Chain A
Amino acid sequence: MKDQGGMRLSEERLRGLLVRGLAGEAAAYNIFLTELTVHLRSYLRRRLAGLPEEVEDLLQELLLAVHNKRHTYDPKQPLTAWAQAIARYKLVDFMRRRSRTDVLTDPFDEDDPLFATTSNDAAEAHYDMAKLLRGLPERQRLPIFYVKIEGASVTDTAARTGMSESAVKIGIHRGLKALADRIRGFG
């Protein structure tokens, strides 16, 4: 019972944060993603108990998915159901990919507890996001770099890159989508 009450509490809280985030409040959106990360990480840890190495990779893929698909959230629907459906979809997709590509590798190789990572270190993914970013075309890479990493405004970025403001926004949007595809090994 207590557990349910706790879930309802975080449901209300997270929903409020996301709704404000969707309205353009970056600070609320940041808290939303940060708190969602905690939930998603424990969700993935429970389900990928035998593959602790993969948790952080999949978690980042999930966060990108949540971000790229946030326009599909309807504020009238429970946030938990929405996030969980995305998480389950990505988890199944991940398992399917893994069973296709990893049939020949022995998962027990690195299972030696000596090399098991502690939970504090696990907040880093294996793939190199910086490298993935570098692989993007300039029209996507520069806007993401200036706006998202350096924290410059869209207007400044437009002036610095010679792109129009809407091109900067489109570049960020498409770039994050391309990143999500590249992580999955599509691009």
Chain B
Amino acid sequence: MKTDDLVSLLSTDAETVDSGVPARRYLLALAGGTLVALILTAGFLRLNPALWRETSEPMFWVRETYCAVLGVLGFVAVVRLARPGLRLGLAPAGIAVALIAMWALAGVTLAAAPPQNRAQLIFGHMAMSVECPFRIALAAAPLFIAFIWAVRSLAPTRLRLTGAACGFAAGSIGALVYSLYCPELAAPFLATWYLLGMLIPTTLGACLGSRLLRW
């Protein structure tokens, strides 16, 4: 076929393109993914019975803000990576700042605590810290699938990075949902296990990105 014929084939009766489609897909992915994550968390793990009492503690809000900020920045990175030719901008730097801030807070908390309390600050009260990252990954799974679905309809050109960004955004929002179950508030715990939880879908996304997002 001649290229000119293809051009006329493509432009004949070309329809109006609804510029709101990507935004609606993202909204659906975000809402649907969060809803399933909530159902998984509330159904398999139960919500933290002391949740209401904890809301009066500043560290509760530090934790929620931490996850939410990372989630928003990860999501911004996804949105930018999914459109060809857009620069990533400041999202990665913002993510680095948030991570470093939490590590700094963890360091200060550990330094200020009596030595015999330090292990508990890192490993938590129930000594189940090893499970925490996997539970976060579980809560992140529906969000991850939803983000990949949304991005597949767009045109990412850096597939591994986009996959990783989908994973990181899903991991952070998943951690936010999971925190409704998790009673741990200590900064050293969050700086370790929450981050590991976010990194599971991030790694998965980086590994599967070029296969899942090819177009």
Q: Which residues of A contact B (CB under 8 A)?
A: 21-24, 26-27, 29-30, 32-34, 37, 41, 56, 59-60, 63-65, 67, 69-75, 77-78, 80-86, 88-89, 93, 123-125, 127-130, 144, 147-149, 151, 153-154, 169, 176, 180
Interface residues of B in 51-99 (CB under 8 A from A): 82-86
Cα separation A56 to B7 with both chains bound (whole Å): 13
Contact B7 A151, beta carbon cutoff 8 Å:
no
Report if B112 contacts A (CB, 8 A).
Answer: no
B214 at the interface (CB under 8 A from A): yes
CB distance from A59 to the nearest CB of B (A): 6
Q: Could you say which interface size class chain B belongs to?
A: 20 to 34
Contact B3 A84 (CB under 8 A): no
Given contacts A32-B11, A69-B155, 12 further A-B contacts (CB under 8 A): A24-B16, A26-B13, A65-B215, A71-B22, A72-B83, A83-B84, A84-B85, A85-B157, A86-B155, A148-B9, A151-B12, A151-B13
Majority secondary structure of chain A interface residues (helix, strand, loop or mixed): helix
Question: Given contacts A22-B16, A65-B215, A71-B21, is CB(A60)–CB(B1) below 8 Å?
Answer: yes
Give the CA-CA distance A5 to B36 in the complex, in Å.
52
Q: How far is the CB of A76 from chain B (nearest CB, A)?
A: 10
Please provide the chain B residues from 1 to 32 with a CB less than 8 Å away from any CB of chain A in the complex. Answer: 1-19, 21-22
Expressed in whole angstroms, the minimum distance between the Cβ of A135 and any Cβ of chain B is 14
In the complex, what residues of B have CB within 8 A of residue A26's CB? 11-14
Give Cα distance in the complex from A75 to B83, angstroms. 12
CA–CA, A9 and B8, complex, Å: 24
List A contacts of B6 (CB < 8 A): 60, 63-64, 129
Q: Is the CB of A93 within 8 A of B214?
A: yes
Q: How far is the CB of A36 from chain B (nearest CB, A)?
A: 9
Complex contact B19–A64 (CB within 8 A): no
A sample of 6 inter-chain contacts (CB < 8 A) reads: A24-B14, A24-B17, A32-B11, A85-B157, A88-B157, A147-B13
A154–B13 touching, CB < 8 Å: yes
9 A-B pairs closest in CB distance? A129-B1, A81-B85, A24-B16, A85-B84, A30-B11, A85-B85, A89-B157, A82-B85, A69-B155
